[in-house]
C-alpha cells in the first residue's frame, strides 16, 4: 500500500557554502530565494505558494470548511493588498498551527480562549494573541462575505491591554539623544528626533527617504513637508497624512541632508537602511538611564503629550498625528493645559459666583 503523500512544507537545503529555505511538495523542491536566517521571508514565500495552489471549497456548511481553507483564501485574495502583508503572513503561520485543521463550526469562545492561553504559555503577550485573533476574524469575515455563507463564527478576543502612558520629559529626551550620539548611534539619534517632533510611527520613520518614492515616505526640504507614505502606498486605518515639518526639526534635517549627500535613506548606517534598531536602541536607552518601558512607540506618545501640554487645538493635533480627535482626547486629554479647568473653577467658586 503506497504511503500517503505529505503536505507541502518548508525545509532547509544546502546551497554551496550556505543553507537556503525550499518548499518540498511531494517530489518537487521549490526555491524560496531565502537563506537560513531569513525565516520570515521564507514563511511569506511559503504562504504565497500555498495560496497559488489553493481552490476554496464550495460547501456552505461550517463543518466542511476549515481554518486552513479560510486563511489560504484570505492570503491569496486579500493579504497582498494590505499595508503590511509580511506581518499578516506571519500571524497566519502561527494561527495555522492551531486553527488549520479545525472546522469553522469549532470557532467559538472556548477555542478562542484556548488559543490565547496557548500563545501566552508560549511566551507571547496577550496583546499579540489578540492581534493574531483579529487577523483570523478578518479572514473569516472576508470568506463569509465572499461566499455569502449563512453563518458567521464569532471570534472572542482577549481583553485589550491598558494604553501605554509612558512619555519622555524634555530632559529625558535630551539625555537619550546625547547617549545615542555618544555611542556613535547617529541613526538612533535621528530616529528619536523625528519621532519626538512628528509622532510618526516606527516603520514609517525607518523607510523614510530624501526623495519621492514608492517604497516609503520622504522629506520635501524645499517646501518643508514630511510625506509619511510612498506614492503608491495603501492608506490604512493607521493614517499617515503629510505634515508640515516643525521648526525645531527642520535645521536637523537640512544638516543631515548635507552630510548624506546623494544617500537615499534618512535613517541608515553607512548608507544602508535599518531593518531593526533594537540593539542600538536598547544600548542607548540604557546609557541614558531609561527603563525598558521606553520603546519606539513612546516617541509618538511623547509628541502627543507635549502637544497637549502646550495647549494645541485637539482637532489640529489629531490631524497632525493621524489619529481621530476622540482617540487623542481619550488617551491624552488629561495632559491638556485646559483639561477640566472649567470644572475646577466651578468647584472652587463660592456660592453666588464669588
Q: Which three cell numbers stand for residue 315?
A: 482637532
Beta bridge partners of 9: 24
* Angle separating helix axes 170-182 and 186-198, nearest 10 degrees: 160
pLDDT-based confidence at residue 61 (cuts at 50, 70, 90): low
Radius of gyration of the chain measured on its C-alpha atoms? 25
* Angle separating helix axes 325-332 and 297-309, nearest 10 degrees: 90
Percent of the chain with pLDDT over 70: 86
Mean pLDDT computed over every residue of the chain: 85
Q: What is the pTM of this model?
A: 0.64
pLDDT of residue 64: 84
Mean pLDDT along residues 89-99: 92
Q: Rounded to whole angstroms, how far apart are CA atoms 243 and 131?
A: 29
Domain boundaries, the chain: 54-161, 170-335
Q: What is the DSSP letter of 161?
A: P
Neighbours of 147 (CB within 10 A): 14
Under CATH, what is the fold of the domain 170-335?
hpI Integrase; Chain A (1.10.443)
pLDDT in tens, 217-230: 999 999 999 998 87
Neighbours of 145 (CB within 10 A): 10
pLDDT of residue 235: 60
pLDDT-based confidence at residue 87 (cuts at 50, 70, 90): confident
Query: CA geometry: angle at 55 spanning 51 and 58, to 5°?
Result: 140
The residue ranges of DSSP E strands in the chain, in sequence order, are 9-15, 18-25, 28-35, 218-220, 225-227, 243-244, 268-269, 272-273
pLDDT-based confidence at residue 344 (cuts at 50, 70, 90): very low
Q: What is the DSSP letter of 1?
A: -
Q: Rounded to whole angstroms, how far apart are CA atoms 114 and 198?
A: 40
Mean pLDDT along residues 153-174: 88
pLDDT in tens, 286-338: 999 999 999 999 999 999 999 988 888 888 988 888 888 888 888 777 766 66
Q: Rounded to whole angstroms, how far apart are CA atoms 163 and 114?
A: 25
CA torsion through residues 323, 324, 328, 330, sign: negative
pLDDT of residue 1: 46
Select from 271, 123, 131, 281 the least CA-distant residue to 191: 281
pLDDT in tens, 4-52: 556 677 888 888 888 888 888 877 888 888 888 888 778 878 877 776 7
Identify whether the C-beta of residue 244 lies closer than 8 Å to the C-beta of residue 253: no
Mean pLDDT along residues 212-221: 90
CATH classification (class only), 54-161? mainly alpha
pLDDT of residue 157: 95
Amino acid at each position: 500500500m503506497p504511503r500517503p503523500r505529505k503536505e507541502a512544507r518548508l525545509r532547509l537545503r544546502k546551497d554551496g557554502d550556505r543553507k537556503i529555505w525550499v518548499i518540498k511538495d511531494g517530489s518537487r523542491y521549490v526555491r524560496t530565494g531565502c537563506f537560513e536566517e531569513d525565516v520570515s521571508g521564507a514563511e511569506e514565500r511559503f504562504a504565497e505558494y500555498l495560496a497559488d495552489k489553493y481552490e476554496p471549497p464550495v460547501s456552505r456548511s461550517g463543518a466542511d470548511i476549515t481554518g486552513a481553507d479560510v486563511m489560504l483564501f484570505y492570503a491569496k485574495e486579500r493579504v497582498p493588498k494590505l499595508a503590511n502583508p509580511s506581518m499578516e503572513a506571519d500571524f497566519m503561520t502561527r494561527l495555522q498551527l492551531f486553527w488549520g485543521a479545525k472546522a469553522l463550526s469549532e470557532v467559538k469562545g472556548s477555542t478562542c480562549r484556548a488559543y490565547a492561553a496557548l500563545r501566552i504559555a508560549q511566551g507571547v503577550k496577550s496583546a499579540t494573541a489578540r492581534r493574531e485573533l483579529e487577523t483570523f476574524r478578518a479572514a473569516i469575515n472576508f470568506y463569509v462575505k465572499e461566499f455569502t455563507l449563512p453563518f458567521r463564527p464569532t471570534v472572542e478576543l482577549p481583553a485589550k491591554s491598558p494604553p501605554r502612558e509612558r512619555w519622555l520629559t524634555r530632559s529625558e529626551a535630551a539625555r537619550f539623544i546625547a547617549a545615542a550620539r555618544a555611542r556613535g548611534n547617529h541613526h538612533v539619534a535621528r530616529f528619536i528626533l523625528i519621532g519626538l517632533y512628528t509622532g510618526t510611527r516606527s516603520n514609517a520613520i525607518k523607510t523614510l527617504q530624501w526623495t519621492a518614492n514608492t517604497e516609503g515616505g520622504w522629506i520635501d526640504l524645499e517646501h518643508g513637508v514630511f510625506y509619511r507614505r510612498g506614492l503608491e502606498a495603501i492608506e490604512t486605518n493607521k493614517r499617515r497624512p503629510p505634515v508640515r515639518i516643525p521648526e525645531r526639526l527642520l535645521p536637523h534635517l537640512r544638516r543631515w541632508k548635507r552630510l548624506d549627500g546623494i544617500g537615499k535613506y534618512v535613517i541608515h548606517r553607512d548608507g544602508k537602511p535599518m531593518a531593526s534598531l533594537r540593539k542600538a536602541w536598547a544600548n542607548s536607552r540604557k546609557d541614558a538611564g531609561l527603563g525598558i518601558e521606553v520603546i519606539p512607540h513612546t516617541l509618538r506618545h511623547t509628541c502627543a503629550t507635549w502637544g497637549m501640554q502646550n495647549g494645541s487645538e485637539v482637532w489640529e493635533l489629531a490631524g497632525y498625528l493621524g489619529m481621530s480627535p476622540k482617540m487623542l482626547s481619550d488617551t491624552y486629554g488629561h495632559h491638556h493645559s485646559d483639561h477640566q479647568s472649567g470644572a475646577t473653577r466651578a468647584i472652587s467658586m463660592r456660592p453666588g459666583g464669588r
